[in-house]
Each structure stands twice: as structure tokens, then as C-alpha cells.
Amino acid sequence: MPAHALRTPVAIVGMACTRFGELWDRSVDDLLVEATHGALGGTGLALDEVDAFYLGSMVSGVSGLTLTRPLNIAHKPVTRVENMCATGSEAFRNACFAVASGAYDVAMAVGGEKLKDFGYSGLEMPSVPNDGTPPVLSAPAMYSMIVPAYARRYGVPEEQIKEAMTHIAWKNHANGALNPRAQFRKAVPKETIAKAPALAGRLSVFDCSGVADGGAAAVVVRAEDALRYTDRPLYVHALALDAGSGTGRNDSDYGYHELAEAAVSARVAYDQAGITDPAREISIAEVHDCFTPTEMVLMEELGFSERGKAWRDVLDGRYDRDGELPVNVDGGLKSFGHPIGASGLRMLFEMWSQFRGEAGDRQVGDLVYGLVQNQGGSPGDLVSAVTIVSDRRPAGA
């Protein structure tokens, strides 16, 4: 059965995001405290007025005590969740469900990660014990397979795909240069990106997202109560999650040119929000650009580009900050960095900033719907979350 839209609509009334980067002078406790108190700051709510917390962290803590200790709170329901790199969206999704169900009036989603202190390089992925049959590949190696597979499927020369990848990296670095919270705040010329040595297949270091520390948080209430806490809430129109079978890499028919879980989660989200033409109705998007070819393929999976045409739309500037459908205006994972537990909430924070007109030099105008796509895993072994938000109240709210 398809997932239904929330019968009790919910809204975000407070958000915060720390600076992302190699924060050697800050602990995960520091990041969680900053994000939590920052999100509450403009709402008039005290910490003890939050009824329940949902904490997203993949490697920086276990159990709800990871949050209660630094916040010095006790006897609150705090649930720690994890869904690979989609962990931040998972925390938010659960906070929304908690409020929509009527179980709580105010819930918080908090995500935080200290990857640098854990020695997490991004080249090796932690895994659970298995029978030894799955291939052991680095994340760049797994995502590099998109390039030759896409080229074969659509008859596009790999050189043109690489040109589109270079444009995506250039775009996201240029956007990140305008963002005071981003890990990398420097525009990089296309010539520098194009000439960087290969890391895996066609991927260079400029095609890979940054490994970072950081935290983010959101306060969620019923939509009907939102104006009690802020005069500019952000309403949630869709929450979708899809987990694939995880057998793609062992399936001889899997082509690596697609990310089917992203397409399915997008279709469910569009149905919930009543969106029939996403390429025209979505005004701005934050997507999971863990690697530049990922962003390119996601433009097709999300229905923004025709199959086999995303590379051309990228080069035409359709997804630039001043293009028809701006994508990753905050710099994306590529420039903002990727502390796993916080990334999904960081994407939502950009929506919060944009719809409130607080994005500064990155501000995009004429916004109707914003989309966040946050995924975890690798091609053929993926989970994908899609969230749709707007400053317009949903029907029935």
C-alpha cells in the first residue's frame, strides 16, 4: 500500500545548524547542544517543554543518552535512530510522526556527528559481519560505476558526463562559497576541477563530498499550532522513505545507471503532496550529492530531467543557483560537508532559511515547494528519503 499524507499536518517552527567542517576544538556534545538550543531560540519554548526527542547519529553515539547527557535532561523519551546516510531525515520523519499521531505536542529531531575524531576517512564504509560474498569496495569506487553504466545505457560519451560532473562540482563549490556554515567556502575554477587526478574511475577528489563534523536540529509541532511559536513556519507536505532489496550488486540485470529507490520515494512524496509535474512545481531542491554523478542521476530519478538528458540539463545551467530549478544552493554535501547524522536536517535547514528569506546571497525567489532528498548506501544497495515542504499551509491544517 502507498504511504499516505499525514492526516494531522505538522510544521517546523524552529531550526538551527552548526558550522560544518573539521571541528577539532568541538565535541559531539558541543554540536548537539548548539543545534538543540539554537533550534529552540526563536520559538519561546524551553528545553523541558519539548515532549520527545529523536536523535540521528551513525557512529558518534548509541542510545538516547548521547543527547540527554550533554543537555542535562532526564526522564524524557529520547530515541536514537540510524539509517545510514539518511539518518538525519529518519530522525525528522520520526519526530513528525510522533506529533502527527497525537502522542506528543512538541518533538525535536536532532542530528550530530563527529566523523573526524573517529578517523572516518570516507574511503571505507563500516559494515556488519556477513558471509563474505558482498564485494568490499570504497564508496567512491561504488559510485564511480554510475559513469560508464550511464554512458552505455544512453549512448553518451564519458567525456560529456565528466564535463557535467565538473559543472556540478563547480556549481556546488560556488554556492558553498556564499555559505558561512559550509566546510569548503572557496569557489574552484572548472579547469582545476577537470584536471584533478582520478581517485576512483572517473571520480577525482572534487567529485566527492567532504567528511565533516556538524549538527542540526528542528522543532516540530502540529500545523494548527505553528503560529503560536513563529510567524513563519515551514509546513511539511510529504514524508517518504524507500528501502531497496539490497541485492543490486549481486543482480546481473542491475545496470548502475539508476537509483530506483530515489525514484520510488519521490513518487510517493509527490502523491502525498499532490504534485503532478515536479519539474515545474518544485521550486528548489537539496539532494544527496555524495558524489557528482549521484546528483546528475538524481535529476532523472526525481523527475526533473528526462531519462538520459540530465547531463545536458546540468550543462545548460538548469540547476544552477539562477537556473530554472536551483539544486543544492547551500553547497550540498560536496561543499557543505557530510556529518552523516546531521546531513538530512542540514538540507531542511536550507529550506527553512530560503522560505523565510534568510539565505542572504544564496536567496532564491518565487518559492512554492521545496524538496529534500537524502539517501544512504550505494547503487543497488540503497535507502532514500524524500521530504517536501512549503510556507503554505496544507489543506486541513
Q: In this structure, what C-alpha cell is assigned to residue 393? A: 499551509
How many C-alpha atoms does 18 have within 13 Å on its Cβ side?
30
Distance from C-alpha of 7 to C-alpha of 36, rounded to nearest angstrom: 27
Residue 309: all three cell numbers together: 538528458
SS (H, E, C) 355-368: HCCCCHHHCCCCCC
DSSP, collapsed to helix, strand or coil, labels residue 176 as helix
* 37, 75, 85, 173: the active-site residue: 85
Give the helix/strand (H/E) hosting 44.
none
Name the residue with cell 518565487.
366
Active site residue 338: yes
Q: CB neighbours (10 Å) of residue 330?
A: 25
Residues whose CB falls within 8 Å of the CB of residue 65, separated by 6 or more in sequence, listed in order? 78
Instruction: Mark 242-253 as b/e (b = at least 16 C-beta within 10 Å).
Output: bbbeeebbeeee
85 is catalytic: yes
Write down the catalytic residue from 167, 173, 237, 338: 338
How far apart CA 389 and CA 275 sit, in angstroms, is 12
What's the full length of the chain, in residues? 397
Closest to 381 in 3D by CA, of 7, 85, 76, 129: 85
Residues belonging to the active site? 85, 338
